[in-house]
Structure 1
């Protein structure tokens, strides 16, 4: 069995590792534009901020490791065309410019994503950088050493992490985003307000609700112009978001309007013997029950693993995802799963929410911390569809618990009565997860009471 793998970050690496275990006689050809595999881009901010000193720690597999196991690694190779019906692809050696044809029996598309790059005038100026791969990370570190004013465009996870890293390195930092809040896709306002307040206390300028219209400078960027102001910039890092890297397959396999490849629960595309995994494709969202584009390393690893298991026969189905993610910014420990209240309504769900803000330990304990926890649930079914937490203490693992609940259609009543331990060092007699679900039940009971009175 000849297997061709296009792309080798998280999904590709997981697929190869599992194919080697499951099908030791498989002939594997891997085509990767970079000179490395398995780069943890989530560590870029930690690398920039000096938390990670050895960049080699940001990789969990190597080209040599795969080659020693018999995998043919075509590094610095760009796949220029792929005829899915003929099972043939052309790959160009980016160093020699030589192009060769390769045949395969099974094709695995793990081509990942690429940063969104709007056609902003001045984008080609020196020191206007992207933030995605290892080369980007090294370039950001190299160029940031001699600059004073840094502008980060995009207030998603990568953007806010970079803002923290640059500020802690003594830079003057401005964060620009077209949304009115940071982390708008992941958290509701109650959970972003504390982070924004910390940014402002640290001297970070928040230019929110603003759209970049131009970069100015002679050769090197010196200023960022928005629709509402202008900001000094010796370095700009673009973190607007990501798009699926799938142009090569347009018109050959089914995709969402944004280019994300549609796969079934066995990671099969609309064409036989063609599989896809990771940031290049959509995945079933258990909160909405619809395919969605959720580019996360955790999703990519699971999908890559499933590709290998289903390569010969469909035996292991994807359980869906909740888009569960976590973040640490300064003293704030944050995590979320599923949908925010606003995202749920945009998805057409009729939802309500419950929120608690409380000490996590009994008040007699000498040390304590405040926990802010919210769940979002469907009004008709009481099914939990989302959750968020923020605290100076670390309660992020509680969101993993709720993620499991969302995957299994757990209701607020079931969460309210779930058996969680009590020990004063860790929680109160009524665990915070029980507590927030009980608050949701009380809210629904109050609604029923009002409806009864009105009837």
Structure 2
């Protein structure tokens, strides 16, 4: 069947959708529109350069236009979408100062998110770092080189990773967070006390329970006004929650209150022949019937895979997200999946938790792994897990995430098969050990 499939956006979600769509529809015409001069830029490139994982921004791409064209996909760069007419099934975009139109049979919206906040007066200052695009990242690298004291707005994963990168580069860091801790979406705070202690010892100054309301630029310095403090620095990093980049949509497409596009479990919008994926949508939860807005590359890729199966008819449900993350900061590997104990009060089931610490391997008693498991009292099903160690335990969170998605119980987790080698593992794998800890 011949049809024209248009994909708007050339990052993780859009590129994945394009490749998967070609695999499913050999004869379709597939066109990808991207507003940047290249596709496939990795937004975390700023961290990678500051941490010396890569040397140049040219290395910070996961795919090229030429590679995508090898799949028989038409790629139009420097094409910024201006409007959508869902009645005419037509997209209008701007390229080289000319307005152009393209018609579609199926449209996949994958325009991602943008770093912005309308709530903070003065947030548009040129001394506030954002880095979603390559141009923003170039500017950010210059600002890091030119300045010494930084204020990070937000204590989520982006904020904590940026604190680590700046401290590595011998900068002064202060972090402002509206909640009483860091990474509060993913961790119960008792799990992160070793990390917070290390961050403080390395010079990070925290302002918890503080919300920046206004930013002033005074004599080449920034003044941040919160409800309790006035904080000064040379420069700042925007690490608050992002929001969908979908200003071009027409008013027929249903949105959530937070501005994300409403989709069903097959990633179809409220308008026929239009689908949305990645950071443009709220993501269904693996733990409940709720959905929420969360910007994670793994969700973008998985929605890009699923949407291609549903273009003609709904056949593959998106199973949702357990909000699985993992990173290394300040010498600690930290990982989380599923619900936290703190947020369990918002769910209808009663949960209990398990804590344990064990050696990282049979012959290495000095390095330890600390874990926490949250499970349903009624069913015994695993609902969440958190790990922290100075040994690399990041891949173990994938096992626990899969267990949550498959409905594994703590009894079954205790019997999960695992490899044992005296040089590399303890007698019980930490994921099994958590299942054994129930009293």
Out of 414, 421, 427, the position equivalent to 1:429 is: 427
Equivalence for 2:295? 295
In the alignment, what sits opposite 2:268?
A: 268
Map of 1:128 onto structure 2: 128
- TM-fit CA distance, 1:250: 6.0
The residue aligned with 2:418 is: 420
Instruction: Report the equivalent of 1:229.
Output: 229
Q: Alignment RMSD, CA only?
A: 2.0
Residue 48 of structure 1: aligned partner: 50
Shift of 1:69: 4.9
Distance 1:61 1:428, change over 3 A: closer
5+ residue gaps in structure 2?
none
Q: Which residue of 2 aligns with 1:378?
A: 376
Q: Counterpart of 2:308 in 1: which secondary structure?
A: helix
Distance 1:428 1:167, change over 3 A: closer
The match for 1:399 among 397, 400, 424 is 397
Number of aligned positions between the proteins: 437
Partner residue in 1 for 2:191: 191
CA shift at 1:105, angstroms?
A: 0.5
Q: 1:73 to 1:375 in 2, by over 3 A?
A: same
Counterpart Cα distance in 2 of 1:169 and 1:261: 39
- The one-character-per-residue Cα deviations of 1:133-174 (angstroms, maximum 9, x if unpaired) are 222221110121111111111111111111111111111111
Of the structure 1 ranges 283-292 and 402-411, higher mean CA displacement relative to structure 2 is found in 283-292
State whether residues 48 and 137 of structure 1, in contact with CA within 8 Å, keep that contact through their aligned partners in structure 2: no
Report deviation, 1:367.
5.1
Q: Distance in 2 between matches of 1:38 and 1:311?
A: 23
- CA distance in 1 between counterparts of 2:364 and 2:33 reads 57
Counterpart in 2 of 1:211? Answer: 211
Question: Does the residue aligned with 1:118 lie in a helix, a strand or coil?
Answer: coil
Q: TM-score, normalised by structure 1?
A: 0.90
Taking the aligned partners of 1:79 and 1:378, their CA distance within structure 2 comes to: 46
Could you tell me which of 9, 12, 20 is aligned with 1:10? 12
Q: Does structure 1 retain, via aligned residues, the 8 Å contact 2:285–2:320?
A: yes
TM-score normalised per structure 2: 0.93
Which is helix-richer, 1 or 2?
1
How much has 1:323 moved relative to structure 2? 1.4
104-113 vs 308-317, which moves further: 308-317
Indicate which of 55, 75, 90 corresponds to 2:92: 90
Shift of 1:322: 1.2
CA–CA distance in 2 between the matches of 1:116 and 1:196?
Answer: 27
User: 5+ unaligned residues in a row in structure 1: which ranges?
Assistant: 443-455
Distance 1:222 1:262 in 2: 38
Q: Deviations over 1:335-387 (max 9, x none)?
A: 1111111122224442111110222334xx25541111011112222211110
Partner of 1:447: none
**Bigger mean CA offset, 349-358 vs 154-163:** 349-358
Q: d(CA) in 1 for partners of 2:404 and 2:221?
A: 46
Tell me what 2:281 maps to: 281
**Structure 1 stretch displaced more, 393-402 or 15-24:** 15-24
The 8 Å contact of residues 126 and 221 in structure 1, kept in 2 or not, is answered as no
Q: Spell out, residue by residue over 1:386-411, the C-alpha distance to the aligned partner (whole angstroms, 9 max, x if none).
A: 10000001112221111111001111
